[in-house]
């Protein structure tokens, strides 16, 4: 629980789950199944190299001023697997399988590791699950006038789609 030296999405998911349990979330009945899937995803990622990552690559965090592309909102930045930023970018921007493969090949300069497809899909699932659980926590704690219940439902649907794609790779 609590802060960590790196941004490890699976630690964040476990921390969010503990917060949801402590604060009596409406989602408590779903947590054991989500945590079980998270553990399976964590095992599937395998060994990782650490790089400095942004860890929140939503389209809204990119600004094109006509001369430069700016990456903003570094609140979640920290050391992490490069696969998380790649997966987060692919998931949040709904990249196709072909675009995702191109992204990985470009990142690894044409030398993507053999396991990268499965690891990347596992991280893509984890990204969707983290966003879902962030929304669940926001249902309880956010003072922003926003329908977090609907956002949770939308993100859980994305997670289910990503999970199905992950299971198919097995």
Q: What contacts 37, CB < 8 A, 6 or more positions away?
A: 125, 129, 163
pLDDT digits (tens, 9 = 90+) for 74-123: 998 999 999 999 999 998 888 988 998 899 999 999 988 878 889 999 99
pLDDT of residue 136: 98
The pLDDT, as a whole number, for residue 167 is 95
Fold observed for domain 9-169: Aminoglycoside 3'-phosphotransferase; Chain: A, domain 2 (3.90.1200)
Tell me the C-alpha distance between 33 and 31, whole Å. Answer: 5
Q: What's the token pair of residue 62?
A: 């990119």
Q: How confident is the model at residue 16 (pLDDT cuts 50, 70, 90)?
A: very high
**pLDDT value of residue 94:** 87
CA quadruple 156, 161, 164, 165: dihedral sign: negative
pLDDT digits 0-9 by tens, 36-62: 999 999 999 988 889 999 999 988 999
Determine the pLDDT at residue 5.
76
pTM of the model: 0.90
Asked whether residue 4 carries a pLDDT value surpassing 80, the answer given is no
Q: Hey, where are the domains in the chain? A: 9-169
CA–CA separation, 104 and 147 (whole Å): 34
Counting residues of the chain whose pLDDT is more than 70, the rounded percentage is 99
Burial readout 53-86 (b: 16 or more C-beta within 10 A, e: otherwise):
bbbbbeeebeeeeeeeeeeeeeebebebbbbbbb
């Amino acid at each position: 629980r609590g802060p960590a030296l790196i941004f490890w999405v699976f630690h964040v998911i476990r921390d969010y789950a503990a917060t949801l349990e402590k604060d009596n979330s409406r989602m408590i009945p779903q947590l054991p199944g989500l945590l079980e899937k998270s553990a399976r995803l964590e095992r599937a990622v395998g060994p990782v190299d650490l790089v400095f990552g942004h860890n929140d690559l939503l389209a809204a965090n990119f600004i094109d001023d006509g001369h430069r592309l700016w990456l903003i909102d570094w609140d979640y930045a920290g050391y992490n697997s490069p696969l998380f930023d790649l997966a987060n970018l692919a998931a949040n921007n709904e990249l196709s399988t072909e675009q995702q493969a191109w992204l990985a090949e470009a990142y690894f300069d044409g030398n993507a590791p053999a396991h990268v497809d499965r690891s990347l899909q596992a991280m893509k699932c984890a990204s969707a699950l983290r966003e879902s659980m962030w929304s669940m926590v926001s249902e309880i704690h956010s003072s922003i006038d926003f329908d977090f219940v609907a956002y949770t439902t939308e993100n859980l649907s994305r997670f289910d789609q990503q999970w199905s794609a992950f299971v198919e790779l097995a």
